[in-house]
Amino acid sequence: MVAIDGLTDLWETLLSAQPDPPPLLVLLTGLVALVVVSTRVPWRIGRNAITIAHEGGHALAALLTGRRLHGIRLHSDTSGLTLSAGRPTGPGMVLTLLAGYVAPPLVGLAGAWILGGNRITLLLWIAVALLLAMLIMIRNVFGVLSLLVTGGIVLAVSWYTSPEVQAAFAYTGVWFLLLGGIRPVAELQRLRARGRMPASDADQLAGITPFPPFFWVTLFALVNLVVLVTGALLLAGPILTEAGITV
């Protein structure tokens, strides 16, 4: 358990850097995340975290582009819906629609950057703060429960576990966000090909731009692949350093 006396100690705890993680931990957590993304039941459970990041991306983009955010719904089938009001076309709507599928790996990239400075506790508390901020806009019971459970787990790990457990949890989570951005894009195109997602983000983007849905699916995939490689290089820093490789 983390022992903290006063705001000064809390601030020092959040900003202090933990020791470099063992390269084996970085490798194993990446493999664990890959297994979760690749297997059916673990993915079905873990995908809720991807949906949270996806809808959070829509919501943040809507706010940053001046749209009025009405609410977010998270569903038990791992789907979600973000409602905003404003111009139905234009850059704001394009960015809002575009943000969903690229948000999980971009969040993972930000996490990888923070982990690059070994500020593991800070990363976990930022995650809790973002989940609490998103909770304000949730408009259904499952969404509230999903965020409370996710945030509770992250907070418990940051408060009650050892630095080693925190490191393993943080690295697994960041790897999962980076890797977990790829599979939904593949699922999107597969469902679109079967005519089962006529109102997908890609199709909506096609409706307000000159580009077809497949262009947007391809863009999602390319962005997420580039972010995955960049994040992986950041996370693999300890492994590369031990091997004497400078990137």
For the chain, give every domain's residue range: 22-242
Give the tens place of pLDDT for each residue, 150-160: 999 999 999 89
Give the tens place of pLDDT for each residue, 130-148: 999 999 999 999 999 999 9
How far, in whole angstroms, is CA 43 from its chain's centroid?
14
Query: pLDDT band at residue 229, thresholds of 50, 70 and 90?
Result: very high
Q: At residue 212, does pLDDT exceed 80?
A: yes
Q: At residue 117, does pLDDT exceed 90?
A: no
Query: pLDDT band at residue 20, thresholds of 50, 70 and 90?
Result: confident
Give the dihedral sign, CA 129/134/136/139.
negative
User: What is residue 117's DSSP assignment?
Assistant: T
Give the residue, 119 or 12, on which the prediction is more confident. Answer: 119
Query: pLDDT band at residue 52, thresholds of 50, 70 and 90?
Result: very high
Report how far residue 239's alpha carbon sits from residue 221's, in angstroms, rounded to the nearest whole number: 27
DSSP 57-93: HHHHHHHHTT-EEEEEEE-TTS-EEEEEES-SSSHHH
Q: At residue 247, does pLDDT exceed 60?
A: no
Which positions ≥6 away from 232 have C-beta within 8 Å? 30, 112, 178
Query: pLDDT band at residue 9, thresholds of 50, 70 and 90?
Result: low
Give the tens place of pLDDT for each residue, 164-208: 999 999 999 999 999 999 999 999 999 998 888 888 999 999 999
pLDDT value of residue 6: 56
- Please check whether residue 69 is in contact with residue 62, taking contact to mean a CB–CB distance below 8 angstroms: yes
Q: At residue 5, does pLDDT exceed 60?
A: no
SS3 33: helix
pLDDT value of residue 1: 52
pLDDT value of residue 21: 84
The whole-chain average pLDDT of the chain stands at: 91
User: What is residue 243's DSSP assignment?
Assistant: T
